[in-house]
Amino acid sequence: MNDIHISIDEPQIIALVGPNGSGKTTLLDCMTGLVRPDQGSIELLGKDPSDPTLYYDVSYLQDNRVLYEDLTGYEHLYFICRMQKQPLSQVQQVIDKLDIATYMDKKVKNYSLGMKQHLLLAIAIINNPKLLILDEPLNGMDPSNSINVRNLLLDLYENGTTIILSSHNLDEIDRLTNDIFFLKDGELLKESIEDLAAEYYFISVQDMSKAKEALNSFHHQTMTFEQDSIQVKSNDVDLHSVLQRLVEFEVNILDIKKRKTGAKIRYQELYGGVSLP
């Protein structure tokens, strides 16, 4: 990876997005001290990730390989509760919050993928963390459970928890996050979810150089000039004025489309033919 910089100064929900193999899990492992970076520094809540006291306030949800097949859900949660020096009453509170009581007395080897994800999430929030780091938290969950988890994460955020999550579920990311970091070619590209959720006009033209000349008087920060089209944020620029200006300069307009970009569209723009898992 190249020179990567993330700074979060107040509670937010941040998404980390990229194709399989792009380095998302490696980056999260570096942040939590499981992998030492070759260079640079990482600080969480004012502490180095190697400081064990940090993890009373930080939780990292990994994949289900960290679970023990022959232990029950209850046994996992009671063990973590004691390790985190939390009152044992936290176990039942977390179980009730996630509505997972029906299978907590079963051994993990009998769990479905969705059940394992619920148990991992319960483990991650049992200490009421200030920082919650989640690697694919919605993996294996049906739409109903995904909605419940989304509401849980929003509740944690509203109560002061900062959340960093890696996910391929871009529709949920659109609903959950403040900012998205796309990991591409070892670099992080930051996008505001507010900008991604905005509506844009895409105006295809025949002569882009003439179009740029025609629109020189407009505020270019609201427009993006691509190879054969102009991207205009609908709330910032009057479309009629733009089209009138292009006509005055005899720019041949080929097509006009209106759409929201969203995380999924931006993903396709960045990674081309790379499909989501």
How does pLDDT run across 224-272, given as a tens digit for each residue? Answer: 887 778 888 777 778 888 999 999 999 999 999 887 667 887 888 788 7
Please give the pLDDT value at position 79: 96
The tens digit of pLDDT for each residue in 179-231 reads 899 988 878 888 887 777 777 788 999 999 999 889 887 755 567 887 778 88
- CA 74 from chain centre, in angstroms, equals 29
Tokens found for residue 236: 């910032």
φ/ψ of 117, rounded to 5, equals -65, -40
CA gyration radius for the chain? 23
Widest Cα–Cα separation across the chain: 75
- Reported confidence tier of residue 96, pLDDT bands at 50, 70, 90: very high
Which ranges constitute the DSSP H helices of the chain? 24-31, 73-83, 89-98, 113-125, 143-158, 170-176, 193-196, 208-214, 239-248, 262-271
Distance CA 93, CA 66 (A): 22
* pLDDT recorded at residue 259: 73
pLDDT, position 274: 53
Residue 73, pLDDT above cutoff 90: yes
List phi, psi (to 5°) of 60.
-130, 115
- Model confidence band, residue 14 (pLDDT cutoffs 50, 70, 90): very high
Average pLDDT over residues 58-78: 94
Model confidence band, residue 1 (pLDDT cutoffs 50, 70, 90)? low
What confidence score (pLDDT) does residue 15 get?
Answer: 92
Edge to edge, what strands does the sheet with 58-61 contain? 58-61, 131-135, 162-166, 13-17, 179-184, 187-192
pTM value is 0.75
Answer whether residue 152 shows pLDDT above 60: yes
Structural domains in the chain, sorted by start: 13-194 (3.40.50.300), 198-260 (3.30.70.790)
pLDDT value at position 220? 56
